[in-house]
Amino acid sequence: MTGLGKVFLVGAGPGAQDLITVRGARLLAQADVVLHDALVAPDMLALCPRAQLIDVGKRCGKQSARQDWINAQLVECASKFALVVRLKGGDPMLFGRADEELRALEEAGIAVEIVPGITTALAAAAAAQQPLTRRGIARSVAFFTSSTAPEHADPMPVTPDADTLVQYMGGREAIATARRLLAGGRADNTPVVVVENCSRAEQRIMRMDLHELAQGLEMAHGPVLVMIGEALRLRETQHGGAAPLQA
CA distance 188 to 156: 23
CA distance 175 to 215: 7
CA distance 152 to 140: 27
Number of neighbours of residue 118 by Cβ within 10 angstroms:
21
Catalytic residue list contains 91:
no
Catalytic residue list contains 1:
no
Which pairing describes strands 164-168 and 111-115: parallel, antiparallel, or unpaired? unpaired
Catalytic residue list contains 58:
yes
Helix (H, G, I), strand (E, B) or coil at 66: coil
CA distance 6 to 115: 13
Given the residues 58, 163, 208, 209, select the one marked as catalytic. 58
Task: Report how far apart the first and last C-alpha atoms of the chain are (Å, whole number).
Answer: 47
CA distance 168 to 174: 9
Given the residues 44, 88, 91, 169, select the one marked as catalytic. 169
Question: What residues act catalytically?
Answer: 37, 58, 169
